[in-house]
């Protein structure tokens, strides 16, 4: 019996990709794969316990929500940085720093204006509203905590900065607090 699915199995510190189909009799070392006929998926019997479907769905919902806000957060954070450094934030500067077209930036800025985060006039610089400034400040604080945490556990500054760009949108307050505690314990805050 075969199912259309894909599973990544970690056994003995090696990753084995099973591709698009697999047979229920597959075995990797001591890890036996079994099929869940009613779900149409496979699981590792000795190591993997699937979460309750409603709980798992809520996790994915939170990730989707984070994805919806991360573009706005990135833009207001960069607008604030450009204003701090250059005294202004321009569409052309955002486009070059994000590596996108000016048309793409205009589309996103229009959305940010609609959401009350940015003030923009044709052929003028961009400015953040109070709400936009608060969001930028919050994003920058999260970003710095994550960078400091990653550096405190031995990640290079360059890699920590790159990784923080993705992590900052998906980390909970509880996790940020734990990161801060680790930073304090290790005494390596930059």
Rg (CA), the chain: 22
Q: d(Cα 64, Cα 66) in Å, to the nearest integer?
A: 5
pTM, full prediction = 0.63
CATH of the domain at 105: 1.10.10.10
Tally of structural domains, the chain? 2
The stretch 42-57 carries a mean pLDDT of: 67
Question: For 62-77, what is each residue's pLDDT tens digit?
Answer: 777 766 688 899 999 9
- pLDDT above 60 for 190: no
| Average pLDDT for the chain | 77
100 SS3 class: coil
Same domain (yes/no): 95, 14: no
Question: Are 71 and 37 in a shared domain?
Answer: no
């Amino acid at each position: 019996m075969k199912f259309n699915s894909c599973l990544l199995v970690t056994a003995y510190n090696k990753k084995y990709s099973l591709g698009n189909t697999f047979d229920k009799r597959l075995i990797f070392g001591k890890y036996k794969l079994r099929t869940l006929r009613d779900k149409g998926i496979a699981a590792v019997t000795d190591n993997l316990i699937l979460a309750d479907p409603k709980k798992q769905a809520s996790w994915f919902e939170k990730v989707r929500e984070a994805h919806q806000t991360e573009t706005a957060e990135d833009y207001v954070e960069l607008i604030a940085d450009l204003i701090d450094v250059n005294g202004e934030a321009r569409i052309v500067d955002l486009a070059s720093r994000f590596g996108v077209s000016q048309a793409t930036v205009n589309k996103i800025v229009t959305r940010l204006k609609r959401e009350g985060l940015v003030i923009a006039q044709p052929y003028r610089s961009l400015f953040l509203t109070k709400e936009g400034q608060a969001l930028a400040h919050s994003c920058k604080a999260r970003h710095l905590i994550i960078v400091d945490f990653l550096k405190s556990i031995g990640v290079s500054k360059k890699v920590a900065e790159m990784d923080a760009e993705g992590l900052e949108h998906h980390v909970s307050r509880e996790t940020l607090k734990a990161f801060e505690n680790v930073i304090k314990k290790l005494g390596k805050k930059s």
